[in-house]
Amino acid sequence: MKLTGAQVIVKALEHEKINTIFGYPGAAICPFYNALLDSDIKHILTRHEQGAAHAASGYARVTGKTGVCVATSGPGATNLITGIATAYMDSIPMVAITGQVSTEMIGRDVFQEADITGATAPFCKHSYLVKKTEDLPRVMKEAFYIASTGRPGPVVVDVPIDVQNGETDFEYPESIEIRGYKPKYKGHPMQIRKVAVAIKEAKSPVICAGGGIISSGASELLLKLAEKCNIPVTTTLMGKGAIPCRHKLNLGMLGSHGSYVANYAVHHADLLIILGARVGDRAMGTAYKIAEKATVVHIDIDPAEIGKNIHATIPIVGDAGAVLADLLEIVEESSFDEWNKTIERIKTEHPQKYVLREESEYVNPKYVLSVMSDMVDEDTIVTTEVGQNQIWAANYFKTKKPGTFISSGGMGTMGYGLPSAVGAKIGRPESKVITISGDGSFQMSMQELGTVKQYRLGIKIIVFNNSRLGMVRELQKVKYCGRYSQVYMEDNPDFVQLVGAYGFRGERISRNSEVKGALERMLSDDEPYLVECIVDPEERTL
């Protein structure tokens, strides 16, 4: 059967069991959009290509499937870039399909030509500029395989318009053979045995769980290990939810924006087990110091992460879940009573707390998030923006299930919150989806309110409005002697009216006594709702 290249792409998506994609059309991708009309695949038209990429990322994170975004050549493709880079830093499986000018025009700077494979090379897992229609079935198969296996990540498939229009025999490859790409899942048994011994010999072990636990679906195994051996667990931002936040062994997030007890534990550990985490600078700024004192076990699917930021005494290349399963078979039970007592003491001496002033003219965001934690069920998905709002959410919202806390960890991309919520809500329509934002970040992607409206997505929006780019302001206060430069946003729009223009309800609150009522109203149905909280510009991140 002969198909056009555009039809091949659509068929390939169907073979990959993709039923929802996110995108934005344009001339160079029109053949694809034409072919899409004959398919049951649901296409979500975002209001900006960056929104499509972030939505695909949010969708991937809540469904475990590969997210797909589509854009036209030139500006459409370049608008995807931030989304691709954000997915790359957080290891999110994604396939980005872009239109391109026709092959014989490439290189002549014709209208809407941009070298997207060149531009995205540093931050995509792999990319293809497809030159022949007959290559498309193989390329699509490989793209999905590469995006979703090993350490997941975005793959770019750039398809010139003549390649979309060309014809080829369609047969979707069943198997795949890429000689330069052979991800390894099973950890080395000898190394795993060493970990069991190290645990037995340790006095003060700590597990540091990263996003790898969530993407490999290894949370249950992690919990089993932690409980069997009574080892406290700290998580990175990407690992939040790997262990329920209220679990007694959970120490919260580590690093510069993390909890006291998590950092205490990591710095006093004699055994640090890093699981599916890359030891980023925000999590372990002084990794070398930690490594001087502790035996470091580093388990990661990406060999290049091992030894990059911390020296590993026992390195293990493999999938977090596969390694944990093997380890659980041989590791002995332990209690670490002394150590856990110390941890308990530190936890009570240095709780994560905030002062609540009832008479205040401001809403305390930490209080909002704490209260909200008790009002939502375990399937509720929270996405965040970047800035103080992200850290408040990371520290004060109590995530109960893995994969329900969605945030741009590695890239810290403002404008991620609302579009990723769009993807999350489409991926899990039965879950409540709440996006936490600052007034600055919200305005970076607020055009996606249009997407929320068009697809009737019951997304709940909380805007912590401090009329500032709060986190940068705080940095300028502390590090630049309070010389504030370009961090004021005094002339913010009326956010409640703004969503009103889209037909959504909302309210503004400025007292802590109003928080519960507002959240109750917000959560009472499955309609979009915005709660704008007036926040003290002096409210600190930690």
Closest CA to 241 of 220, 227, 256: 220
Q: Is 300 in the site for ligand TPP (CB under 6 A)?
A: no
Residues 324, 468, 499, 533: which binds ligand TPP (CB under 6 A)? 468
Q: Is 307 in the site for another protein (CB under 8 A)?
A: yes
Q: What token pair was written down for 396?
A: 């004060």
Closest CA to 343 of 497, 182, 206: 206
Identity of the residue, 106 or 472, whose beta carbon is nearer to ligand TPP in the bound complex: 472
Q: Is 387 in the site for ligand TPP (CB under 6 A)?
A: yes
Question: Are the CB atoms for 361 and 511 separated by under 8 Å?
Answer: yes
String of contacts with ligand TPP for each residue 194-223, x by CB under 6 A: ------------------------------
Question: Are the CB atoms for 76 and 24 separated by under 8 Å?
Answer: yes
Residues 31, 137, 440, 528: which binds ligand TPP (CB under 6 A)? 440
Identity of the residue, 155 or 251, whose beta carbon is nearer to another protein in the bound complex: 155
Residues 413, 435, 445, 451: which binds ligand TPP (CB under 6 A)? 413
CB neighbour burial string for 202-232, b if at least 16 within 10 angstroms, e if fewer: bebbbbbbbbbbbbbebbebbbbbbeebbbb
Q: Is 114 in the site for ligand TPP (CB under 6 A)?
A: no
Identity of the residue, 343 or 436, whose beta carbon is nearer to ligand TPP in the bound complex: 436
Q: Is 54 in the site for ligand TPP (CB under 6 A)?
A: no
Residues 160, 239, 276, 470: which binds ligand TPP (CB under 6 A)? 470
The residue type of 379 is: D
Closest CA to 515 of 423, 396, 424, 400: 396
Q: How many residues bind another protein (CB under 8 A)?
A: 18
Span interacting with another protein, options 7-15, 122-130, 194-202, 369-377, rule CB under 8 A:
122-130
Give which of another protein, ligand TPP, none residue 482 binds (C-beta under 5 to 8 Å, depending on kind).
none
Closest CA to 470 of 538, 534, 407: 538
Residues 217, 244, 303, 450: which binds another protein (CB under 8 A)? 303
Identity of the residue, 142 or 532, whose beta carbon is nearer to another protein in the bound complex: 142
Q: Is 388 in the site for ligand TPP (CB under 6 A)?
A: yes
Collect all residues with Cβ–Cβ distance below 8 Å to 33 and sequence separation of at least 6. 25
Identity of the residue, 277 or 386, whose beta carbon is nearer to ligand TPP in the bound complex: 386
Q: Is 3 in the site for ligand TPP (CB under 6 A)?
A: no
| Least Cβ distance, residue 304 to another protein (angstroms) | 4
Q: Is 302 in the site for another protein (CB under 8 A)?
A: yes
Identity of the residue, 91 or 407, whose beta carbon is nearer to ligand TPP in the bound complex: 407
List the interface residues with another protein, window 130-169 (CB under 8 A). Answer: 146
Give which of another protein, ligand TPP, none residue 464 binds (C-beta under 5 to 8 Å, depending on kind).
ligand TPP
Identity of the residue, 424 or 446, whose beta carbon is nearer to ligand TPP in the bound complex: 446
Closest CA to 88 of 47, 46, 60: 60
Q: Do the strands 405-406 and 505-509 form a parallel or antiparallel pair, or are they unpaired?
A: unpaired
The percent helix, strand, coil of the chain (3-state, each to 5) is 40, 20, 40
The residue type of 337 is: D
Identity of the residue, 440 or 528, whose beta carbon is nearer to ligand TPP in the bound complex: 440
Span interacting with ligand TPP, options 29-37, 172-180, 243-251, 463-471, rule CB under 6 A:
463-471
Q: Is 448 in the site for ligand TPP (CB under 6 A)?
A: no
Residues facing residue 275 across a β-bridge = 209, 299
Token look-up 């931002």 returns 237
Give which of ligand TPP, another protein, none residue 508 binds (C-beta under 5 to 8 Å, depending on kind).
none
| Least Cβ distance, residue 123 to another protein (angstroms) | 9
Q: Do the strands 295-300 and 505-509 form a parallel or antiparallel pair, or are they unpaired?
A: unpaired
3-state SS class at 530:
strand
How far apart are alpha carbons 178 and 125 in whole angstroms?
14
Distances (CA, A) of 85 to 82, 211, 238, 279: 5, 16, 16, 19
Span interacting with ligand TPP, options 32-40, 128-136, 150-158, 411-419, rule CB under 6 A:
411-419
How far apart are alpha carbons 276 and 318 in whole angstroms?
9
Identity of the residue, 137 or 387, whose beta carbon is nearer to ligand TPP in the bound complex: 387
Q: Would you mind telling me the total number of residues written for the chain in this entry?
A: 542
The residue type of 477 is: K
How far apart are alpha carbons 370 and 391 in whole angstroms?
13
Q: Is 118 in the site for another protein (CB under 8 A)?
A: yes
How far apart are alpha carbons 405 and 418 in whole angstroms?
13
| Least Cβ distance, residue 541 to ligand TPP (angstroms) | 8
Question: Are the CB atoms for 181 and 148 separated by under 8 Å?
Answer: no
Q: Is 472 in the site for ligand TPP (CB under 6 A)?
A: yes
User: Nearest residue to ligand TPP, using CB?
Assistant: 438
Residues 304, 330, 356, 375: which binds another protein (CB under 8 A)? 304
Closest CA to 110 of 157, 32, 162: 162
Q: Is 126 in the site for another protein (CB under 8 A)?
A: yes
Output the furthest CA–CA distance in the chain (Å, rounded). 73
Q: Is 108 in the site for another protein (CB under 8 A)?
A: no
| Least Cβ distance, residue 440 to ligand TPP (angstroms) | 3
Start-to-end CA span in the chain (Å): 61
Closest CA to 453 of 43, 47, 55: 47
Residues lying near another protein in the complex (CB under 8 A) are found at 117-118, 121-122, 125-126, 129, 146, 178-182, 302-304, 307-308
Residues lying near ligand TPP in the complex (CB under 6 A) are found at 385-389, 412-415, 438-441, 464, 466, 468-472
